[in-house]
Amino acid sequence: MTRYVKVALMGAGYAGKSTLIRLLTDNVTKLESKYKPTAGMDCGTITLDGDTKITLIEIGGQTHFEFMWPEFMKGSRMVVVVTESTPKAVLKTRQLLEKYKHLLEGMQVIAIANKQDLPGSMKPESVQDLLGVPTYGMIAIDPKQRLHGYRLIVSGLRDMVQVAS
């Protein structure tokens, strides 16, 4: 029987969540017919082995979606916080983390410092200092980063995956 492991991608609009889902999964489903890049929600599936599939779900960063966040996070094995790597964006992400701390309690949380290709990007280590969760650099528009991204997700789920295999 196939088991689905839910991973929620959280972060401000324009951080790169949909791009990351597109990078890591082949079958992106648009959950909204009138999809707008930063306002909709994407989800996609990674097949880990015959028995386990990872479902990546994007939690839209726009304020009018925030009421749904608790619902989305419920049942997630891991939350991946995606942020742009400018100081301003990272500080905004820090506020988001602060605001939703209660939802993240007891959950595996990692952060992705995306858009490392842009000038003026903070290094992942500096982003980690501000966010207080394990943080990894990423360029979600670069197909060469696919394996790197895949590893981040899978190693975050390692405990669970070992149990599954």
Ligand X SMILES: Nc1nc2c(ncn2[C@@H]2O[C@H](COP(=O)(O)OP(=O)(O)O)[C@@H](O)[C@H]2O)c(=O)[nH]1
CA distance 36 to 32: 9
Amino acid at the residue 159: D
For residue 37, state whether it binds ligand X (rule: CB under 6 A).
yes
User: Are 115 and 121 in contact, with CB atoms under 8 Å apart?
Assistant: yes
For residue 83, state whether it binds Mg ion (rule: CB under 5 A).
no
SS3 73: helix
Binding residue (CB under 6 A) for ligand X from 76, 114, 121, 128: 114
Which of ligand X, Mg ion, none does residue 85 bind (CB under 5 to 8 Å by kind)?
none
- Give the CA distances from residue 112 to residues 16, 17, 36, 85, in Å, rounded to whole numbers and listed in that order: 10, 10, 22, 9
Amino acid at the residue 15: A
Q: Minimum Å distance from CB 19 to ligand X?
A: 3
For residue 18, state whether it binds Mg ion (rule: CB under 5 A).
yes
For residue 19, state whether it binds Mg ion (rule: CB under 5 A).
no
For residue 145, state whether it binds Mg ion (rule: CB under 5 A).
no
For residue 25, state whether it binds Mg ion (rule: CB under 5 A).
no
Q: What is the DSSP letter of 68?
A: G
Residue numbers at the binding site for ligand X (CB under 6 A): 11, 13-19, 37-38, 58, 114-115, 117-118, 139-141
